[in-house]
Structure 1
Amino acid sequence: MLTALDLDKVFKRALQNGGEFAEAFYENTTSNQIYYEDKRVDRILSGVDSGVGLRIIYGGQSVYGYTTELTAAGLVELADTLSKVVAGKLTSTGAISFEKIKPGLNYKILKDPAGLALKNKLEYVDRANTAAWAACKDIKQVTAGYIETLRRIEVANSLGHLGEDQKQYLTFYAQLVGERD
């Protein structure tokens, strides 16, 4: 994603007023959630959050901004805005050649939860709900949930480093409230 946004131009603009270092951080997170309450499906949510943050370091200080406009023009505009905060002389005008860096940690996902049909996910949450209610006669409330999240990030900087990572999270829970006289 970041490499499609003309980062060389973005970083030149970010550093045009004396910045010493700049980095861009892209994040795209998708989430699917199922909530069970009162012995029924309460809500099902799905969403995507995306954006790019830009940080400029200058004279021991930093300035940061972000945009959800994922275009080269949007990121260049952000770089121009942030660079106005930076006072000083132009410190970097050379072209940047990006070198991809691999993350040191890699988790193996055996079965992608996104590939599981919604019907099956609902069955799992329903089974947890049923088991929770059956656990004790004193149970007065059960909330059960299933949350799957896929987070993709990319980081690039004015030194030419480019890294990307992807993490998948799955949360499954049952919360019980009991009451006894």
Structure 2
Amino acid sequence: MTHSLASSTTTNDAHTNYRNARDVLFAHATDIEAARAAFSWPDVGPHFNWATDWFDEIARGNDTPALTVIEPDGSEASRTFDELRRRSNRVAHLLVAQGVRPGDHVMVMLDNRVELWEAMLAILKAGAVILPTSVVLGPADVAERVGRAGVRAVFAAPTDAAKFDGL
């Protein structure tokens, strides 16, 4: 059985229903009681995937800046919505090709960098579970978490790669 990154079969309905619920909250952003009265959870179907059914739908062809990360040296790394969509698609396809399946745990040990956001979108697109992990953990802590969670894949910077030796 192959796993597909395709969005749900009711993408348009799911996307529209999700957007309408979001818009209700925006419309009543300053009036909590009105928001509570007007809001109802949207029907997004049984297979809604936020990354494919929501993010990709608003990102496709959208060259608006979506992310800017200020690096420690003061430089900036920036991506548009469509760049994030395309780049996370490539990473998601790589995860699936490496055997990651829906429900698998994928550890993310990255500081605030563009790759963090691309990886998180990709993990969601693959239907996997994001296991955020602090970069300050040592090898013993990493090994315990990998074992306990049954981690299937890891995203880590080269400076943290040695923490995974032997796992």
Q: Aligning the two structures, in what range does the TM-score lie when normalised by the shorter sequence?
A: under 0.3
Higher RCO, Cα 8 Å, sep 6+ = 1
The structure whose Rg is larger is: 1
TM-score of the two chains, using structure 1 as the length reference: 0.22
TM-score, scaled to structure 2 = 0.24
The answer to which structure has the higher helix fraction is 2
